[in-house]
Amino acid sequence: NAGVTQTPKFRVLKTGQSMTLLCAQDMNHEYMYWYRQDPGMGLRLIHYSVGEGTTAKGEVPDGYNVSRLKKQNFLLGLESAAPSQTSVYFCASSPRGLGSGNTIYFGEGSWLTVV
């Protein structure tokens, strides 16, 4: 029962470096999401996907790119990391999306520090 798995769990980057966070889900969910959680800001949606091969912007998409080449995987990329991207990143998935009245299930988080 892995559910939603994120890798890596912790990462320190230097400003300007690039990296990719990987999210994998084994529940055959159609929808996947990337959120960031910051103190005093709550959880904010970065990007989401409504199915394999699709992506869409959320509330705070700038500085991030995503890809969903396989149904079970959703990748979040930082092309040129900035200190403002220091945060905890959560991946989530949903059977058929919030728009259909479903809820979402979160992974354990990835702690990213940009110095």
State the chain's maximal CA–CA distance in angstroms: 40
42 close to 106: Cβ distance less than 8 angstroms: no
Which one of 13, 23, 104, 114 is in contact with other proteins (CB under 8 A)? 104
Question: Does residue 99 belong to the site contacting other proteins (CB under 8 A)?
Answer: yes
Distances (CA, A) of 18 to 21, 41, 103, 112: 10, 24, 32, 12
- Footprint of other proteins on 11-70 (CB under 8 A): 31, 33, 40-43, 45, 48, 50, 56, 58-59
Residues that bind other proteins (CB under 8 A): 4, 31, 33, 40-43, 45, 48, 50, 56, 58-59, 90, 97-101, 103-109, 111
